[in-house]
Structure 1
């Protein structure tokens, strides 16, 4: 990866770009009048652009622009703050003070909702294997401002971990978290989900298999939750009870431990 600034540059953008470069050990490149496409063609790397208010990433092999935004998490959070239920929280049975390990963090939508549910007395950690998505998620969770104090506090509490989830689970303590969560890339694409499809090219394609689930069962005190396409065979193959939801394109599965 390389990091640069928006075309209309100022000292604040340059300072932030250099700080991020130092933090994540990536190269800072001056724009020097070059377009983003020219930078991509020259260096053949993913480009992160520091803009006013956000980071935008353009992968080397795609024209999709990636950036952190809570999207549907904000809508779901507003419902929760009105004491309405959330299907994920109900399925995972997350309550204040509990802990959750999200093994497939992505851009953290479900982890934000989990953090809101468990509150300051609980904890949520998220594992992300892609260096690009890890950077966007970590910086976004630390800096995005929604104007909703409890929502922003929930984002700030999430511990973002750069790792491959199987290796992390193998080294994690037995019964160290209440809930372990998996939201792998669906083998069947949901074409209406722009957020999912936009990061598909940069996700780490880890296989979710029985070895991973065995480690997750050791680490979890209460249950493992799987989110997958409604037609997925993984629920049956890995021993999950599939909770079907009418009209929903994805279902949740639960494995009590």
Structure 2
């Protein structure tokens, strides 16, 4: 289904410029709002809607009433815990060091990538793949524009360094030479519903649903220099199928698996 971009309900010059920028970057049509509701535009255009507001972009998947928009979500309190010296289970699984590189194959809300960017520091590199080009655009804009100072989230200043690649992960992996990323991270989030964030529901509707398969796993192992890390439902058969060492965590819905090179 096609996607069109429009402005907020009371557009000004800035929101119109942002809408035209998105239209040009994504090669999608711009439509005048004309005081129409999102549902009305969806019906008339038979399209998903990207809304360019003054402060952020919002994405309405066709038939959905709630939008997806960028927000640090759980990364906000996780970063504060990290700053207090507390441990983070994801960081314990990926075992990143300063200067390391990580490829997040399913960027989603980028919450894990934000924590990874803190861990690797300025000399490190975090790349995230997002298969939906509109969501990839929104994530890149959000990571660059989010006012972490005003929101008192200085711990997340490193989010600026995250690179968003608009691509299915396995397609991007094929392009990379062997042993080029220290860690390749796999989170096939649509295998089972794990994330409970309200803002995640519209993203789940907009996302591209791809399960971990033999080719994806092969490419991840080829590209990873140190390890491949999997996040999946604790009952997932993927841990055993691909020989991950499962880090079992009592009373949690998801576990991490590690495949050391």
TM range (shorter): over 0.9
Instruction: Give the SS at the match of 1:175.
Output: coil
Given the alignment of the two structures, is residue 208 of structure 1 paired with residue 212 of structure 2, yes or no?
Answer: yes
Equivalent residue, structure 2, for 1:42: 44
Give the count of matched residue pairs. 256
Alpha-carbon shift at residue 223 of structure 1 (Å) = 0.2
Is this contact kept in 1: 2:130–2:164, CA < 8 A?
yes
Instruction: Give the SS at the match of 2:16.
Output: helix
Alpha-carbon shift at residue 2 of structure 1 (Å) = 1.1
Alpha-carbon shift at residue 206 of structure 1 (Å) = 1.7
Given the alignment of the two structures, is residue 168 of structure 1 paired with residue 172 of structure 2, yes or no?
Answer: yes
Among 237, 240, 245, the residue aligned to 2:244: 240
Is this contact kept in 2: 1:103–1:126, CA < 8 A?
yes
Which TM-score applies when normalising by structure 2?
0.93
Change (3 A) 1:196 1:9: closer
Equivalent residue, structure 2, for 1:231: 235
Which TM-score applies when normalising by structure 1?
0.95
Equivalent residue, structure 1, for 2:93: 91
Instruction: Give the SS at the match of 1:216.
Output: helix
Alpha-carbon shift at residue 186 of structure 1 (Å) = 4.1
Alpha-carbon shift at residue 196 of structure 1 (Å) = 3.5
Among 129, 132, 140, the residue aligned to 1:130: 132
Is this contact kept in 1: 2:109–2:200, CA < 8 A?
no
Structure 2 gap ranges (5+): none
Larger displacement relative to structure 2 (13-22 or 212-221): 13-22
Structure 1 gap ranges (5+): none
- Paired with 1:191 and 1:106, the residues of 2 have a C-alpha distance of 10
Cα RMSD after superposing both structures: 1.5
Alpha-carbon shift at residue 191 of structure 1 (Å) = 7.7
Equivalent residue, structure 1, for 2:154: 149
Superimposed CA distance per residue, residues 179-203 of structure 1 (whole angstroms, 9 cap, x where no aligned partner): 0001112433248443443321121
Alpha-carbon shift at residue 50 of structure 1 (Å) = 1.6
- Paired with 1:182 and 1:106, the residues of 2 have a C-alpha distance of 11
Given the alignment of the two structures, is residue 181 of structure 1 paired with residue 171 of structure 2, yes or no?
Answer: no
- Paired with 1:6 and 1:183, the residues of 2 have a C-alpha distance of 33
Larger displacement relative to structure 2 (221-230 or 10-19): 10-19
